Amino acid sequence: MRTITYVEALNEALHQLLEDDDDVFLIGQGVNSPWYVGASCAGLLDRFGTKRIIDTPVSENAVTGVAVGAALAGKRPILEHPRMDFMYYAFDPIANQAANWHYMMGSQLSVPLTIWGIINRGGEQGAQHSQAIHAMLAHLPGLKVVMPSTPYDVKGLLRASVYDGNPVLLVDDRWLYRIAGEVPEERYTVPIGKGVVRREGKDVTIVATSYMVQEAIKASDRLREEGIGAEVIDPLTLKPMDTHLILSSVRKTGRLVVADGGWKSFGAAAEIMALVGESDVSLDLKSPMVRVTLPDAPAPASRTLEKHYFRTSDDIIKAARDQLGE
């Protein structure tokens, strides 16, 4: 084990996957450009060449269609979308093609496609460059959605996604890139569909996704100083979700706060709350469930307004205190 950053773990995972399997290749906009992908693709082009690291024109629909076709032909493409906002252009090949082919062909074909979607929130980028659209894509049957929150998990989940055999969306939040943690040098996978407990507690459950896991951990540590035990659950996979882990925690604490980097209405947080509300665990709730999400408004392009728009550990702490009537 050594301590490396999230982006270093992501880069290492890409190097190892391309080294191990000639069927794996990386395709997308700016995969050879630090401006697009930061250090996540450093050294890939020099090592593997233009046949394995394919920089594409700005045509999300066409590039995604090419990747789906390659997956149908037996390759294992990693399709990079440098801004999730512009994946809207790619909804047809994702929703109508990649997510449906296995079902439509009676399981005779599969689409081993990994869609690497990057969220670029903050930094005064405005409404068209700050969108986290994972809930929309998780709504699709046939598409799995994973949301790593640590260096260890991004390396393991990327490998698991590539070899899952199904189309998988890996949601990558750039706010995680500087987070550091222990990561093995060897190859390993993190199972899709299994969550983890980041902090244990008995008073309130906080279920958080992607970058909001880091904010939830901060909140839990501060709440512990006040004598409040906040249990932090990281689903890691939005679809299929580790329902047993979430329900077990809420049954224990009787309280639930959900923190997600998407919008409030019809989002991932609402789905997690519905999971609890539709189960017998709802009978054990001691107070109404609470969402900590973005407001139902486009992202502002002002640094001052961004401070009020994006959620932090302070918002999670307030929600947890409200749950306990404090």
Q: Pick one of 1.10.260.40, 3.30.70.260, 3.40.50.150, 3.40.50.970 as the CATH number of 2-183.
A: 3.40.50.970
Rounded distance between C-alpha atoms, residue 4 and residue 6, angstroms = 7
The dihedrals phi and psi of 181, each to the nearest 5 degrees, come to -170, 170
Mean pLDDT of 292-298: 95
HEC-encoded secondary structure of the chain: CEEEEHHHHHHHHHHHHHHHCCCEEEEECCCCCHHHHHHHHCCHHHHHCCCCEEECCCCHHHHHHHHHHHHHCCCEEEEEECCHHHHHHHHHHHHHHHCCHHHHCCCCCCCCCEEEEEECCCCCCCCCCCCCCHHHHHCCCCCEEECCCCHHHHHHHHHHHHCCCCCEEEEEEHHHCCCEEEECCCCCCCCCCCCEEEECCCCEEEEECCHHHHHHHHHHHHHHHCCCCEEEEECCEEECCCHHHHHHHHHHHCCEEEEEEEECCCCHHHHHHHHHHCCHHHHHCCCCCEEEEECCCCCCCCHHHHHHHCCCHHHHHHHHHHHCCC
Mean pLDDT of 280-302: 95
Fold match flag (2-183 vs 196-323): yes
Looking at residue 124, what is its pLDDT? Answer: 83
Looking at residue 126, what is its pLDDT? Answer: 87
Average pLDDT, the chain: 95
Do β-strands 2-5 and 180-183 pair in parallel, antiparallel, or remain unpaired?
antiparallel
- 34 Cβ contact list (under 8 Å, min separation 6): 42
Rounded distance between C-alpha atoms, residue 302 and residue 122, angstroms = 9
Q: How far is CA 15 from the centre of its chain?
A: 21
Looking at residue 214, what is its pLDDT? Answer: 98
Residues identified as active-site:
129
Cα dihedral 261/291/272/221 (nearest 10) = 80
**For the chain, which residues make up each domain, given as ranges?**
2-183, 196-323
pLDDT digits (tens, 9 = 90+) for 221-263: 999 999 999 999 999 999 999 999 999 999 999 999 999 999 9
Task: Report residue 92's pLDDT band, with 50, 70 and 90 as the boundaries.
Answer: very high
Looking at residue 326, what is its pLDDT? Answer: 72
pLDDT digits (tens, 9 = 90+) for 135-161: 999 999 999 999 999 999 999 999 999
From the number of C-beta atoms within 10 Å of its C-beta (0-12, 13-18, 19+), residue 161 rates as buried
Choose the weakest-confidence range: 197-211, 262-276, 296-310.
296-310
Task: Specify the fold of 196-323.
Answer: Rossmann fold (3.40.50)
The dihedrals phi and psi of 239, each to the nearest 5 degrees, come to -150, 120
